[in-house]
Chain A
Amino acid sequence: MKTALHQWGVAEALSQLHARTVSAEELAQALLDRAERIDGQVHAYLWRDPAQVLRDARAADQRRRRGDADDLPPLLGVPLAIKDVMPVRGMPTSYHSRWASPESAPEDAACVARLRATGAILLGKLSTHEFAIGGPTQDLPYPAARNPWKLTHHPGGSSSGAAAGLAAALFPAAIGTDTGGSVRGPADACGVLGLKPTHGDIPMRGIRPLTYTLDQVGPMTRTARDLPLILAALSGRPMAISWREDLRGLRVGYLRHFHTEDVAADPEIAAALDTAAQDLRSLGADVREVRLPALPYCMAITGVVASVEAWLAHRDGLRDAPRKYTGRSRRRLAIGAFLSGADYLDAQRRRQALKADVDALLADCDLLLAASSLRPACRIDDDAAIDASYPFEARSPFSATGHPALNLPIGFTASGLPIGAQFIGRYRGEAGLIASAETYLQARWQSRYPLFPADT
C-alpha cells in the first residue's frame, strides 16, 4: 500500500526528494495543509509562518536543482518542527508562557543552527509545558497540545507538541528537550520514538536553561531509521549504524524491579514490558533481570538536582511576577526553595554513585530495558490525575546519570493509548540503541496512525 506523503519519515522523504518524485515545496505544502486541517484539534503548533516555510522550501529545491547530488546538505528539504523553548531565527519564542515576547529571535540556538545548516526546513514552533516544566492547565495563554490517540487525553510533556504532532503526522521529525524525561515521556504517551542522547553531546547554547546540569536536546521521530539522520545533524558527528536482522548475542539487562517492586505499574503496562522482554529473547537477545537502587530513590536524586537548579533559573521571575506563571509551574518551580545547599550537593554525590551503578551494569550488558511511563496517559482536564502522574515514570534516573535513553513504542492499552519502553545504553552508545530498536520494531511493531475526520 502506498504511504501517504504526510506519513513519510525522514529517510523516506529524503529518498523521494533525491529521486525528485516530490519537491521540498510540495512536501512542505502538504504538511502545512494537513496542519491547517488537523492542528485545531491537536494544538501541536504554537507558531508557524507558511509563507516563510514555502520560501525556504523553494530555495531548497533550487539548490537541489543546481547542486551536485553528492555535495548537497544531508537534510536538504526535509521539514522539521522545533519545541518552543529553542530560539529559531525569525520566529518568536514563547515557552508556552505569559512571559512570551512577541519579538522574533535574532539568531538560532546552536542546535537549530546545525539543523538549518543541514538544509532542514523549519516548519514552526511546538507546544510545550510552560518553560518545559509546567503542564497542561486552564490558565495557559495558548491551548495545550492534545494526545492524537484520544483528544481528551494528555500527550505527556514537556515536549508535548512534538510528540502529538508526530503521532498526528504533521511532520516527520521534531526536536524536543529532556530534563527529567521531557522527550521520552511524550514520546511514550503518543506512541513515537524519543531519544535523550548522551549528556553534553548536543550543544545547549542559546536555549534558556530550565536546569544547568540536566537539560538536553533530543530528536523525536516515528521510525528508528530516522533517528540517526537527525541525531547526526544535531551532534555534528556522522553516525554509522550496523543494522541487524536479529538480536543474537545482544545482552539485555531488564530493570524489572522498577515497575514490579518499587513503583507498581499499571497491569497492562507491566504485561507489555514482559512481552517486550520475551520478544527480545525470541529475536536472539540474552535478557536477564538486573538491579539498580530503588526507583523512588533514583527519582529523588534527579528531583532534588532539577528542582534546585530550576528554582535558581526562575526565582527572580517568581518573585517579581508570580502571577505570570501558571499554577502548575509555580508549584513545580517552588520545590527548590525548600531544599538546601547540602541537599543539592548530597543529591549530586548520589548522582555520581548512580552513574557508576549504571556503568557497572552496562559493563556486562549491551543495553538496559526499563519502563518509560508506569501509567497510561490520563485525561487532560483532570488536574488531580496529572499531578498524581509525575511519580509514575522510570525516565528520570537516566537523566541524572547522563546515559543515552530511547523511548520506543511497544504496544497499546485496551483503551487505545500507547505504551512505551526505554532502551538505555553506554555513553555514546546511541548507534547500538537505535539498531536494536529498529530490529525490535521491524519484527514486532506495525506503524499505526490515529484517525482524524479529515483523514476519512
Chain B
Amino acid sequence: MGAVRFGAAGALHRGGEAPAGTPEYLMPEIPDTWMQYIVGTEKLEAMQADFAADLEHAATRARQWQQRLREAEPLPASLPPWAPGPDTQP
C-alpha cells in the first residue's frame, strides 16, 4: 500500500508526494501510516471521503498548538513534566 497524504483541498492522496500547494503544516510530520492506523487498512477506501475533512481539521489544530509551544521561550532544562503531587491525589 502506498503512502497516504492529505492534499491541499482536504482529499487524501495515495503514493508519491503531496500535490503542489499542500500547506506546509500538513506535509512533513504526518506519518504515512496514521490513517491506516486509525481506520485499519482494509477500511481505508470506504472511510477516506468521510475522514479527510475530519482529520485535516484535527491536523490543523494540532499543528497550531505545536507551533505555539515550539515558538515559546525555552524552559529550564531541569524542569520536570507536571505530575500529580501528593496534594492532588484522588
Are A338's CB and B34's CB within 8 A? yes
- With A297-B72, A331-B54, A331-B58 as contacts: A200 and B65 at CB distance below 8 Å: no
Is A335 engaged at the interface, CB distance under 8 Å to the other chain? yes
Between A300, A303, A320, A338, the greatest number of chain B beta carbons within 10 A of the residue's beta carbon is seen for: A338
- With A331-B58, A349-B82, A352-B82 as contacts: A303 and B51 at CB distance below 8 Å: no
- Enumerate chain B residues within 8 angstroms of A355, measured Cβ to Cβ: 82
- With A307-B62, A315-B38, A337-B38 as contacts: A353 and B79 at CB distance below 8 Å: yes
**CB-based nearest B residue for A334:** B58
Are A339's CB and B81's CB within 8 A? no
Are A330's CB and B82's CB within 8 A? no
The A278-318 residues at the B interface (CB cut-off 8 A) are 293, 296-297, 299-301, 303-304, 307, 315, 318
Query: B17 to nearest A CB, angstroms?
Result: 19
Are B65's CB and A337's CB within 8 A? no
The B34-90 residues at the A interface (CB cut-off 8 A) are 34, 37-40, 47, 50-51, 54-55, 57-59, 61-66, 68-70, 72, 75, 79-84, 87-90
Pick the residue among A213, A322, A349 that contacts B84 (CB under 8 A).
A213
Please tell me the size bucket of the interface on B: 35 or more
- Enumerate chain B residues within 8 angstroms of A43, measured Cβ to Cβ: none
Complex CA distance for A352 and B58, rounded to whole angstroms: 25
- Count: A-B pairs, CB below 8 Å: 121
Complex CA distance for A203 and B89, rounded to whole angstroms: 8
Is A107 engaged at the interface, CB distance under 8 Å to the other chain? no
Is A370 engaged at the interface, CB distance under 8 Å to the other chain? no
Complex CA distance for A330 and B55, rounded to whole angstroms: 8
Are A330's CB and B51's CB within 8 A? yes
- Enumerate chain A residues within 8 angstroms of B9, measured Cβ to Cβ: none
- Enumerate chain B residues within 8 angstroms of A353, measured Cβ to Cβ: 75, 79
Q: For the complex, count residues of A whose C-beta is within 8 A of B.
A: 52
**CB-based nearest A residue for B37:** A319
Pick the residue among A303, A335, A338 that contacts B30 (CB under 8 A).
A338
Are A348's CB and B84's CB within 8 A? no
**CB-based nearest A residue for B88:** A200
Complex CA distance for A303 and B65, rounded to whole angstroms: 7
Please report whether the interface of chain B is mostly helix, strand, loop or mixed according to DSSP: helix
Complex CA distance for A348 and B39, rounded to whole angstroms: 29
**CB-based nearest A residue for B55:** A334
- Enumerate chain B residues within 8 angstroms of A201, measured Cβ to Cβ: 88, 90
Complex CA distance for A168 and B63, rounded to whole angstroms: 40
Complex CA distance for A327 and B79, rounded to whole angstroms: 38
- With A205-B90, A319-B39, A350-B75 as contacts: A339 and B84 at CB distance below 8 Å: no
Is A202 engaged at the interface, CB distance under 8 Å to the other chain? yes
Complex CA distance for A353 and B72, rounded to whole angstroms: 12
Contact string against B for A residues 329-373, beta-carbon threshold 8 Å, 1 for contact and 0 otherwise: 011111111111001011111111101000000000000000000
- Enumerate chain A residues within 8 angstroms of B69, measured Cβ to Cβ: 297, 300-301, 304, 343, 346-347, 350
Are A303's CB and B61's CB within 8 A? yes
Contact string against A for B residues 1-21, beta-carbon threshold 8 Å, 1 for contact and 0 otherwise: 000000000000000000000
- Enumerate chain A residues within 8 angstroms of B39, measured Cβ to Cβ: 318-319, 322
Is A402 engaged at the interface, CB distance under 8 Å to the other chain? yes
Are B62's CB and A349's CB within 8 A? no
**CB-based nearest B residue for A329:** B54
Is B29 engaged at the interface, CB distance under 8 Å to the other chain? yes
Is A198 engaged at the interface, CB distance under 8 Å to the other chain? yes
Contact string against B for A residues 191-231, beta-carbon threshold 8 Å, 1 for contact and 0 otherwise: 00000001111111100000001000000000000000000
A-B contact pairs, 26 of them (CB 8 A): A200-B89, A202-B90, A213-B82, A300-B65, A303-B61, A304-B65, A304-B66, A307-B61, A307-B62, A315-B38, A318-B39, A322-B47, A331-B54, A331-B57, A334-B54, A335-B58, A335-B59, A335-B61, A335-B65, A337-B34, A338-B59, A338-B63, A340-B29, A348-B81, A351-B81, A428-B87
Q: Residues on A close to B: CB < 8 A?
A: 198-205, 213, 293, 296-297, 299-301, 303-304, 307, 315, 318-320, 322-323, 327, 330-340, 343, 345-353, 355, 387, 400, 402, 427-428
The 5 closest A-B pairs by CB, nearest first: A200-B88, A348-B81, A338-B62, A334-B58, A300-B68
